[in-house]
Amino acid sequence: MKIAVLVKLVPDSEAQIKLNADKSWIETRDISWVMGPYDEYAIEEALKTAGDKGGEVTVISYGDEQAVDGLRKALAMGVHNAVRVKREGEQDLLGTANALAEALKDNGYDLIFTGFKANDDDCAAIGTMVGTLLDIPVITEVSKLEVGEGNVRAERDIEGGREIIEASMPCVITAQKGLNEPRYASLKGIMMAKKKQIEEVVVTHTESRIEMAGLNYPPERAAGKVVGEGAEAVPELVRLLREEAKVIE
């Protein structure tokens, strides 16, 4: 079985995010980059599937030189091959999906995994777009997966219940929390990953149809308000929670 995993490098969730001087992008200097948690679920599921069914896992990232760090992390976890699809300039989501789809097509992948979203821009779009561009089924936010002969059975949480979906392969699965518990890269894996070749692929780029107008910090949280002290303050607190904050009815 041939399995592909699409990953993206994101700032470490403990990093302090600051905007650059002209607020066009974040200040990247002091940031350490990691693979997003959902991409780790995707990699684990790919490795597990390859382990059970036999097969090879290729991790693919669309990005600049930095993407190599993420690819090495995936290699350290046990992924067999790594491909960097070279990014040129800024791309919108469709441009990114196009680039990835071009790198994927004609390579005979049976399964394509990716995190359901990258936890930096939270777009949750790439998996769906890539599947659509490749004209194959997409199942999103999967938290349980069974891989059969030529088909998959996936479960996903929906409001108040579980949805069970079947699809034929090839297909795209986007990983949600709960799918598995990702393994830690072994020290041996980290060592070997340093020596492995990372393949570079150049694809044709589409014109970006959107433009980043700017970034802004979230509004400062207003200071708290002391309503009063002791039991006397409770009625006023309840009134404010109901009428001003509107968090109770």
State the residues that interact with another protein by CB under 8 A.
Answer: 183-191, 194
Start-end of H helices in 83-186 = 93-104, 126-134
Report the nearest approach of another protein to the CB of residue 81 (Å): 21
Largest CA distance in the chain: 72
CB of 30 or CB of 243, closer to another protein? 30
CB of 122 or CB of 181, closer to another protein? 181
Start-end of H helices in the chain = 37-53, 67-77, 93-104, 126-134, 187-195, 234-243
Report the nearest approach of another protein to the CB of residue 185 (Å): 7
Report the nearest approach of another protein to the CB of residue 141 (Å): 23
Cis peptide before 218 (omega within 30 of 0): no
Amino acid of residue 31 = I
Decide: helix, strand or coil at residue 78: coil
| C-alpha distances in Å from residue 1, one per residue of 48, 111, 150, 185 | 12, 8, 10, 23
CB of 8 or CB of 73, closer to another protein? 73
Report the nearest approach of another protein to the CB of residue 206 (Å): 36
Report the nearest approach of another protein to the CB of residue 186 (Å): 4
Question: How many whole angstroms from its chain centre is CA 144?
Answer: 17
Query: What is the Cβ-side half-sphere exposure of residue 115, based on CA atoms within 13 angstroms?
Result: 22
CB of 188 or CB of 239, closer to another protein? 188
CB of 34 or CB of 67, closer to another protein? 34
